[in-house]
Structure 1
């Protein structure tokens, strides 16, 4: 087994413990691989709260959209066997689907890369909210036939030519799963089990929700009113290819090591290295990443991290590996907090690389910076008071005086690295600014005619 230094383990465990506390995560698990060997595993908190059963490295989690790379791999396995080509039109393999791109038939590649022009059609939202008791939309999605009707009714929603716009679409991956079934003659979940999970020795992983009823398995939790509330697991047969896998983080590392090792794990060759390179490549650009076939490429601490996250609203996950082959990380949690596991994984990688997440990872850098600036402020002798709060990637300033209340949005002048200067949008279009100044033991805020002093 590879090893981490005691100091690295201490920093890692402090970071993860703070995450669970700050984000109200009942339980989470992590596994870290270094140079092909397990270097660290850990369980934090409770996999369920009624009996306070601990989370362990072997706890089963619903890993949600981490399933997508398994779906993509299934398509590529069939391609290697001559059953299909990724540039085939969807219509060549599925009948009864009446959606088509503005510039011709939607291909399997388009669906794999979320570049078909088909936007999110809300199928996952409807089913997740329904099955966890959050909300009922009244949309008929009882079975695959309903799903096809829902999809065909959205033909006019195509948002542009194929390959032009990245639009994350769970429905596209569900269609890919149907292609796997059609061409293999095997139910999708059984194909994944026999062709991927079993060869990799992922013995406890699968898509049967019965696995969560006994043994070391998570209880899903929704975050409501500042607390975690147990919910049912949202099992959605029509959405298994988009997000149905259940797995422990330890077994996910077997899959990650196969990905890092060119398609081979412990002497078993699952797929050709060229196919994996195609899956890992950045086919579609996003704001801060590139998307391949069920994988996302992101630059973190000077390395390329190839991974994918997932959320069911009541559980969440991440799995990824550095392209240089040194690190692989898998995280599972029994709720969907903020920050989510994909962001936490970036902080973990920063620690493993010997860097401070608050300096190396934009989310944590912004969070740390905003924590210094948020709070209660007042002017000379308290004539004007104000509150500065975090609002998504910006700050919200609410001031009060005898003339009434005013609310302003403060946008970082440098969005990538928020500092002291913030822009204030106005209806008149005039540029206004707010400036924070730190003076050791206190912070001052200047905007318009005001100078305000942070009280707490």
Structure 2
């Protein structure tokens, strides 16, 4: 298979969205493509390659879920039993509510995010005043002492992404096996898959040497060197590379084994990939959560399984399509444009489908097209349409004033984009009409227009 087009696309993405580096792995049947792009260290201009180490963030949750199912297979745990059966001195929330292991695996405990990880990461990176130095998994129990007052739904009825739940699962793995969580993952998953350069510990990462230095983009889009939040464990602490992560993906595509070594039976892989609870936010439609994995039921006619990860300074996305024996891993040393969207584009192309119909690509294209300076009749007034992330704004300004109106999208099509705005408690429906040679919209009593050249671009741009 010719992957040269992939290189061109990734290099364009790195330039456009300002990534220091991206590492990519693709598996398609028996073919594997591995490559690093950009620099893992901008100061020393050290290039990233397929062996460069990055934090995979919440992709770690799939390892934790896999470990729980290994113990379930051995009869050491019942995933449908209450959590308080497996921990000593549990927080009150686990005594008052019937929260099961299954609920923690599926983020359906009824407890909204308590944001321990957000406080830990931002504090460790000195990005905010919040500081929560969680050192041991038992510290989470102390942190959750009043979580029973935070419950917002009956267990099993609503999806609330809960990092704390996966920390507790890691604690349970340790308690049931007599090993640390990390030791169990090394012995029962990483070693079996020969993921020889995947770590949790800072000293092992530093001894390895091929490490992607973490960066943050400031408000002016400049690269700022950062630290890394070591110390996270079963909810997001694994550090790996695309060579190892492709082995992990191949294990799922092979239904639980790799190179003749079984990690778990097929039925448990399928249990992980089963849609257990509907997620409240959608990108492609119908997304659900399994056990440590997210499931999209219809990605160009196929089931897509995957998970993203972020510790703010390193980001990751893993996805695979079992029916096509197709998988992808993307790793980076910055938070920028979503790696999952990049992966969706690449997967669509690898399926020989048109990625321009993906909603975020189509939406991005049209929002970019709407940007610009609009005017009324004979330029008597001007309006400035700008884009901040996925939000469009209209600005009216003069020498002393500047009024900025955010636009909330309702429907975006090729020939019309409809938004809602609220100005001084008045609601407005604003429709952009996209024509071959102009775009216009109406606001209050005015019509604003932006002329395009014949190619559909702003004249003179």
**Structure 1 segment 22-421 matched on structure 2, within 5 A:** 22-35=16-29, 37-100=30-93, 104-139=97-132, 141-213=134-206, 214-225=208-219, 226-236=221-231, 239-286=232-279, 287-288=281-282, 289-298=287-296, 299-338=298-337, 340-357=338-355, 359-400=356-397, 405-414=402-411, 417=413, 419-421=415-417
Deviation (angstroms), 1:377: 1.8
User: Relative to 1, partners in 2 of residues 1:385 and 1:221: Cα closer, same or farther, differing over 3 Å?
Assistant: same
Deviation (angstroms), 1:149: 1.2
Deviation (angstroms), 1:152: 1.6
Partner-residue secondary structure (3-state), 2:25: strand
When the two chains are superposed, the root-mean-square deviation of aligned CA atoms in Å is 2.2
Partner-residue secondary structure (3-state), 1:149: helix
Give the conservation status (yes or no) of the 8 Å contact 1:47–1:55: yes
Deviations 1:386-420 (A, max 9, x none): 111224544211224699654433333426x5751
Deviations 1:320-372 (A, max 9, x none): 1103133110110011112x211211111112122343x23211111111111
Deviations 1:279-328 (A, max 9, x none): 11110111321100000012323322100000000000011110313311
Give the conservation status (yes or no) of the 8 Å contact 2:54–2:314: yes
Aligned residue pairs, count:
443
Deviations 1:230-278 (A, max 9, x none): 2112112xx3000010111111111111111111111011101111111
- Give the distance between the partners of 1:138 and 1:104, measured in 2 at CA: 29
Deviation (angstroms), 1:146: 3.3
- Give the distance between the partners of 2:15 and 2:140, measured in 1 at CA: 39
- Give the distance between the partners of 1:232 and 1:402, measured in 2 at CA: 43
Deviations 1:146-179 (A, max 9, x none): 3221112222111110111100010000000000
User: Relative to 1, partners in 2 of residues 1:319 and 1:293: Cα closer, same or farther, differing over 3 Å?
Assistant: same
TM-score computed with the length of structure 2 as normaliser: 0.90
Give the conservation status (yes or no) of the 8 Å contact 2:137–2:167: no
Unaligned 5+ segments in structure 2 are 452-457
Indicate whether 1:422 and 2:418 are aligned. Answer: yes
Give the conservation status (yes or no) of the 8 Å contact 1:398–1:408: yes
Partner-residue secondary structure (3-state), 2:56: strand
Partner-residue secondary structure (3-state), 2:32: strand
User: Relative to 1, partners in 2 of residues 1:153 and 1:429: Cα closer, same or farther, differing over 3 Å?
Assistant: same
Deviation (angstroms), 1:10: 3.5
Deviations 1:117-144 (A, max 9, x none): 1111111111111111212314453444
Question: After the TM superposition, which of the residue ranges 390-399 and 366-375 deviates more from structure 2?
Answer: 390-399
TM-score computed with the length of structure 1 as normaliser: 0.91
- Give the distance between the partners of 1:215 and 1:428, measured in 2 at CA: 57
- Give the distance between the partners of 1:195 and 1:243, measured in 2 at CA: 18
